[in-house]
Structure 1
Amino acid sequence: MTAVSEKMWVSDIVKEIPKSADIFRKNRIDYCCGGRMPMAEAVEARGLDLESMMEKIDNIDQHEGGGIDVKYLDAAAIITFIQNRYHKELMNELSALAPYVRKLARKHGPDEPHLVRLEELYRTLKNEMLAHTEDEDRNVFPLIMEFMKDTTSDLVETVKPHVEGLEADHEAVGDILKEMRDITDDFTPHESACGTYRLVYARLEKLEKDTFEHVHLENNVLFERVRKAI
């Protein structure tokens, strides 16, 4: 069992104990783009109780649920996993959810202006994520796989800016999701919310969860291996 300390980076805790991601996400602690900091510092920044946070993480059953431990996969296998687990599902969900977000904004937006802003954010998120994943699948991932086969090749100077660009995209997506969570009161519908209202909030929260897991896997596992090889 992994022993968690307050000096461990948040991103490293999630790598060792994947289920800790749910705890960090619910407490608005960034474990993706901003995860490279000690847990004590991240918890303090949110004004939370460190002892309580550590207790919750220590109580996670690390053996429950099984799943793939990406520590034992090479770069090519990690990329395949990302594409099959996240990219395909993401493209489907972004398109499928769009009409419901639009309907919610048109029906309730006049009385609840935050829903109009929510649609704007969703449209931006959808466009950026679709372009981002297409760039990864067509250009960057094949380049990374080629580079990782021979890290002494001339590709080193080509790979580095691509990885930095993808991480910048991740930062922008993270900002969009944070604003979505802020304006929806943590994706909590009001008591009289209709079925579409509740459906949109629930699916947006699921989309946020999957996106954070997706970005963490890229930034803190795949790209970390590339950075070490450069």
Structure 2
Amino acid sequence: MSQLTLESQVSDIVTALPHSADLFRKIRIDYCCGGKITLKEAAEGRNLNPEVVLNDVKTIEQKIEAKGSLEPAAFGNKTLVAYIQEKYHAGLREELPALAPYITKVVKVHGEGHPHLIRLQEIFRTLRAELLDHTEDEDKNVFPAILEFLENPTPELREFSQKQVIELEEEHDNAGRLLFELRELTNDYTPPEGACGTYRLVYARLEQFEKDTFEHVHLENNVLFDRVRAAL
């Protein structure tokens, strides 16, 4: 990215400079669902100095050795979809069932003394159910139709793709709200003093889950779905 300014959209910054996502997660700037606003607006919305945030982004840009490397945003349509499915959809199907027993254990042992864990478990169960259904529908129905539309934009496929993109982005928005609530509940995934190993494991894996989900949603909302919108 050669020209970063305060008027650059957050989603565009992350598309061109994926490592900036880590900074935006840290300072709680939404780059996936709410990323289509300027960096200035996003920073001011979090009561941050926009110039400081811009300088931090530029520092990341300067450190990245991107010579010759391909980022997912540069992939062709079929490769991008396959990348999303293999890295994120398959990852969710593996991680969410594996993490559930640890959360159950932490709630059982510590829930009475730390009541926020009850809400944490509720949010996790909601996300697990909704994301697994969501990704299955994408894999079986939506992605094949989108790829066909991008190859052969018939009126029927155009109508279907437009409707699906709107619905999927609404579902992404809901997941994003729940993830932000999880971060608030856990004090930025900071385990309490004296937390046991399982407690710490749950927080660490939830934070990684958040990171992966934001990256996942960003690639769909701001790369794949933007391609669909451009073809409508």
Q: Distance in 2 between matches of 1:10 and 1:62?
A: 18
The letter for the 1-side match of 2:90 is K
Query: TM-score, normalization: structure 1?
Result: 0.96
Task: Give unpaired runs (5+ residues) of structure 1.
Answer: none
Pick the aligned partner of 1:170 from 160, 165, 172: 172
Would the aligned equivalents of 1:2 and 1:17 in 2 still touch at CA under 8 Å?
no
Deviation, 1:135, is 0.4
- Matched with 2:19 is 19
SS at match of 1:84: helix
- Matched with 1:194 is 196
Deviation, 1:76, is 1.3
Deviation, 1:106, is 1.0
Deviation, 1:193, is 0.4
SS at match of 1:192: coil
Deviation, 1:68, is 3.6
Would the aligned equivalents of 1:101 and 1:200 in 2 still touch at CA under 8 Å?
yes
Q: Distance in 2 between matches of 1:145 and 1:37?
A: 27
Structural mapping, 1:93-112, within 5 Å: 93-112=95-114
Deviation, 1:51, is 1.7
Task: Give unpaired runs (5+ residues) of structure 2.
Answer: none
- Matched with 1:69 is 71
Structural mapping, 1:61-210, within 5 Å: 61-63=63-65, 68-210=70-212
The letter for the 1-side match of 2:29 is I
Q: Distance in 2 between matches of 1:220 and 1:109?
A: 38
The letter for the 2-side match of 1:31 is Y
Query: TM-score, normalization: structure 2?
Result: 0.96
Q: Distance in 1 between matches of 2:156 and 2:215?
A: 31
Would the aligned equivalents of 1:106 and 1:116 in 2 still touch at CA under 8 Å?
no
The letter for the 2-side match of 1:100 is Y
Deviations 1:7-27 (A, max 9, x none): 000000001111111101110
Would the aligned equivalents of 2:44 and 2:50 in 1 still touch at CA under 8 Å?
yes
Q: Distance in 1 between matches of 2:207 and 2:75?
A: 28
CA RMSD of aligned residues (A): 1.4
- Matched with 1:4 is 4
Deviation, 1:155, is 1.1
Q: Distance in 2 between matches of 1:195 and 1:176?
A: 25
Q: Post-superposition, which runs of at least 4 consecutive aligned residues in structure 1 deviate over 3 A?
A: 64-68
SS at match of 1:193: coil
Seq. identity, %: 51
Q: Distance in 1 between matches of 2:156 and 2:76?
A: 21
Aligned residues: 230
Q: Distance in 2 between matches of 1:33 and 1:202?
A: 23
Would the aligned equivalents of 1:147 and 1:153 in 2 still touch at CA under 8 Å?
no
Q: Distance in 2 between matches of 1:136 and 1:68?
A: 25
The letter for the 1-side match of 2:212 is D
Deviation, 1:54, is 1.2
